[in-house]
Structure 1
Amino acid sequence: MRRSVPALPLLVLAVLLAACGGSAQSAEGELSGTRLDPPFPVSSTPLTDTDGDPFSLTKDTDKPLTLVFFGYTHCPDTCQTVMANLASAMTRLDSADRDRVDVVLVTTDPARDTTAVLGPYLEHFDPGFIGLTGDLDTIVDVAKPMGVGITQGEKLPSGGYDITHGTTITGIDADDEGTVYWDEQTSSAAFAADIHTLLND
């Protein structure tokens, strides 16, 4: 069973398929990720951060660049790899760049990923990462404009269940628009290079 699958609008998917070698580091000034034209709209609907406070991906993202990934702490494969690559990418940036970018994990499994669970999970990767949870229907509504689908799978013999969700990482700019996305195979070096390029565009 595939636990994590890309879920993009057809037009964007066609762009992704045409962008060969998207996870490799590109030439200086170019991106490994895919620029969006037009950009993804970003919902202003607030979710809940690990401090229990409302957090909107538009109103509360005040840095020039915010990277958003939808995943969950019980994910057995893709989510941990993506989060580890994002954490490693942050260590590759100089302090000036690092201070101008946020990384946000929005859970796709709010029944298990409470604020008390998300906080320690993200601490393992980077204490500066932001975790968001909330009502599942609200999370689905926030994810949809960014081309991310979320469905809860059937119960497993172990008693748990799988979550099928889109695996793209979206970059939100200072105008609160999703202007670039990366796939789950993007390396930490490619993330770091792209972040530097986007911050200096």
Structure 2
Amino acid sequence: MSNATQSPDRSGPRGTGRLRAAVLPPRGKGRRVGLRLAALAAAGLLLATGCNDSGGSGDSPVKVREAKSIYKGIAVDPPWTKPELTLTDTSGQPYDFRAKTAGRTTLLYFGYTHCPDACPTVMGDIVRALVKLPAQDRATVDVVFVTTDPERDTEAALREWLDSLDKSFVGLTGSFDTIQAAARQVGISIEAPVTGPDGKVVSTHGTQVIAFGPDNEGPVMYSASSGLNPDGTANGNTSEDFAHDLPLLIHPEDAKK
């Protein structure tokens, strides 16, 4: 999770945010026993605080695929289904996430514009990966950023922030309850922003990016990069991981060869 306070410097240091486990909703009876916190940590989602919410029903949550994967990101089995989500885009128009992104490769991220660490890191990694794609492939990719801080992230504020990254990025806002419910559909936990005793606003949110292919299924997710492991490898996913996986998502027929 990113647990960040309002800061005038939105670039911020890398890796100062805290990662928290995605909430893992039930995926149907009879599925294999799902992800445990230890497996989640091994997959790169190191936790400061964590939870594994199976809804108390005994149903099995989503499982991170343990077999060798074609992706550099964290493969998910069964894949996520695109969440049912209609919010307001930065032009003030309703945006039906499923309808607008149908048949397109889509990266979905929940964050906020005042985030000093995880959000600019993740979005910057996506930008660096996208510029490596051929123009015809880039045109098939949507990046959708859903604010977790709708009170401060007005349509204008979202547009200004996203335009500094890529003018094609979609920004969505709406009621916090609607946003929170949508995030839970893809295993991401977010909490309502709170104001601390010092007057600073704290917004805690999962930092995973969910990637959907043209078939509208999300077979892979990415955790925010938060520095280096002791062996020098990246802790979390990097722009190179996105750059490797995007062609596989855009051209699933090639991925199966």
- Specify the TM-score bucket, using the shorter chain as the normaliser: 0.7 to 0.9
1:6 aligns with 2:20: yes
Alignment of 1:37-76 (within 5 A): 37-76=77-116
Q: Which residue of 1 aligns with 2:243?
A: 192
Once superposed, what is the RMSD of the aligned Cα atoms?
A: 2.3
Distance 1:191 1:17 in 2: 20
What is the aligned counterpart of 2:137 among 87, 97, 102?
Answer: 97
Which structure is richer in relative contact order (CA contacts within 8 A, separation 6 or more)? 1
Q: Which residue of 2 aligns with 1:25?
A: none
Alignment of 1:161-200 (within 5 A): 161-185=201-225, 186-200=237-251
* TM-score normalised to structure 1 length: 0.87
Distance 2:203 2:178 in 1: 16
**Mean Cα deviation higher: 10-19 or 125-134:** 10-19
Work out whether residues 214 and 249 of structure 2, in 8 Å CA contact, stay in contact via their aligned partners in 1.
no
* CA displacement at 1:5 relative to structure 2: 2.8
Distance 1:196 1:159 in 2: 44
Tell me which protein shows more helix as a share of its residues.
1
Closer, same or farther: CA 17–156 of 1 in aligned 2, 3 Å: closer
What are structure 2's unaligned runs of at least 5 residues?
5-17, 25-33, 45-68, 226-236, 253-257
User: What is the number of residues matched between the two proteins?
Assistant: 194
* CA displacement at 1:41 relative to structure 2: 2.9
What is the identity, as a one-letter code, of the residue corresponding to 1:53? Q
Work out whether residues 149 and 193 of structure 2, in 8 Å CA contact, stay in contact via their aligned partners in 1.
no
Q: Which has the larger radius of gyration?
A: 2
* TM-score normalised to structure 2 length: 0.69
Instruction: Provide the identity percentage.
Output: 40
* CA displacement at 1:39 relative to structure 2: 1.5
Alignment of 1:108-119 (within 5 A): 108-119=148-159
